[in-house]
Structure 1
Amino acid sequence: MPAEKADPPTMAELSPAARQLYAYAAERHSFEPAEAAAALGPRAAGALTELATAHLLQRAPGGGPDRWSAVAPRAAAARALAPLTLLVRETHDEMDRLRGRLEALVPEYEAGTAQRDRSGPGRQELETVTDLGTVRALIAELAAACEREVLTSQPGGGRPVGALEDAIGRDEALLARGVRMRTIYQHTARYSQPTVAYVERVAALGAQVRTLDDGLMRMLVFDGHTGLITVPDRAGAALVVREPSVVHFMVSAFERCWLKADPFPATVSREAARSLSDELRQTIVRLLSEGLEDKAIARRLGMSERTCQRHIAEIMRAVGAKSRFQAGYLLSAAPPPPGAADGPGDAVPEPGAVSERGSGAAGS
């Protein structure tokens, strides 16, 4: 282990007085504090200390202890970053040592799992894992062993910050190894800034991300042979699927959703936001006509119940309904307007912006 070191110094934004003194110093070979105070006023003393701490001023060579001169910004940066550079180098060395110690156990692990798989009863084709910590550990294990592709389907709008922080390191390591990654979110995830930031990071490494309005199931599939799906009404639980026919069904379901999904953009323009809002509204109309309650519709579309209720209120006003029941009846009975692809929702005026519900996958 590298020896403990003090935390590297942090560099705050320079004050206006410090920037003024630096400009003064850059115009001269050297200066004394009294000269700076006479030119810049009483703030010069504090600014001198600030610049010296930032390595932007140094004692003038051969000028005596009271004379100072400016340091080039790049040279100052090199001095300020030296402790961090050393810390990063030592951290990388320790990471390599730790990885080597752990990877030395790979032969034992592979031999043991091969024996377990040959023995039959030890390998369950369907296994329910009820502890969230165990689910996350299993996902980390499957990700570390993944060689070709991981498929992820994440309904529920924007994902929680904690889930994204757990996933980013694992996913970046996968992509760095050349593993292909495809992910489907719901459209409402585009309005979640943490989710957008996560997507930008993994997309820069080659991940593909798309969004869909409805119809997703929460699942992960690794290399087309091991899948995880959530267990209804059991928070944090997952069903581990190794049965080839079931995994094949999961992959086929993902591929059908993938073909219908839209690329996740880095930014959402006004026109794209309006288009997404129209599509979400049409889906709300369909679910409302099917008799679903507000809470169920919100959960299906990955938005807050309050946002869903606001959409429904706009739809009710548009069709002249006084109750949800009447709105559902009118929407299911009315023929779609000319040119509408998904029913009467096309005739509904534009409601407010969509807000995501912020739920995430258990263990993902």
Structure 2
Amino acid sequence: MLEVIGLSSAAQTLYAALVERSPATLAELGHDTATAARLEELGLVTRLPGDPPRYVAVSPELALDVLIQARTQQLTEARHRIAQLAARFHRSAPEQDSANLVEVVMGRQAVSRRFERLQREARRQVRVFDAPPYATGAAGNAVEFELLARGVEYRVLYDRRAVEAPGTLATIIGYLGAGEQARVGEVPVKLVLSDHPMAILPLRHDEHAVESALVVHDSTLLGALSELFEMYWERAAPLHVRRGRLAEATGAAEARRDLLPLLAAGLSDTAIAAHLGWSDRTVRRHVRAMMTRLDAQTRFQAGYQVVMRGWLAEP
């Protein structure tokens, strides 16, 4: 226990023996001169004249308290030195940190790996601006299902172009069924935000967007990206899964419920028809009926009324 103030196990044993039995020779106690010399150096024992010499223990309250005070002084000096080093570090850190706030990742596979790593390092939430093209290809994001099952929250805002792609809505339904919160609307830039905190977004805004990416670490820029996501998320139209499906409406009421989120999201008649398995004529008929019911003159007004009346939240 007394190692913290510089006493070895052998020194502690000899000192304890002398506390109980002083004066005594080393031969009587079974210890060597090196250990006794160390105790004498620390002021814990006194050597009496004679041949062989005898040793007497100094009062523990006095001798050990002196050692503790000395060690306390050493710790105080160490803290002072640490403060000096910390001050030097923070004076030089801005230039070092600024170089590490944003990383550039090159190559489709490297981008895909960083995307997966960002998700796996999330603690509670991942937020996504989803828009084509995709680095992960047609297989989708298998990591999301794994993390949703572990309780990580996903909020994904899908760009209308993404939702209009044939077969995409069926994939989204799978995510929704696993617990994803999804909305459809305008997406200003592909983006993934993790509460690690970290973000990843394309380096370029063209068909080569998946070939390179920026990885943003905790910084003012990351805070701005977070605010951008929340602003667009509030403007977007929610998507819901009903009985595991978002298509194949059979009755007028079901048709209305399936049509609402797609209409509010601003999808074209052709895109809605592709997702719901209807003809363009059927879509136009339902849209006209919806506009009449909402007393709307344009599709935009109809979508706005759907959101304002809270119909998207109806079961």
- Could you tell me the TM-score, scaled by structure 2's length? 0.45
User: Per chain length, whose mean CA-contact separation is higher, i.e. which structure has more relative contact order (CA < 8 Å, sep 6+)?
Assistant: 1
- Could you tell me the TM-score, scaled by structure 1's length? 0.40
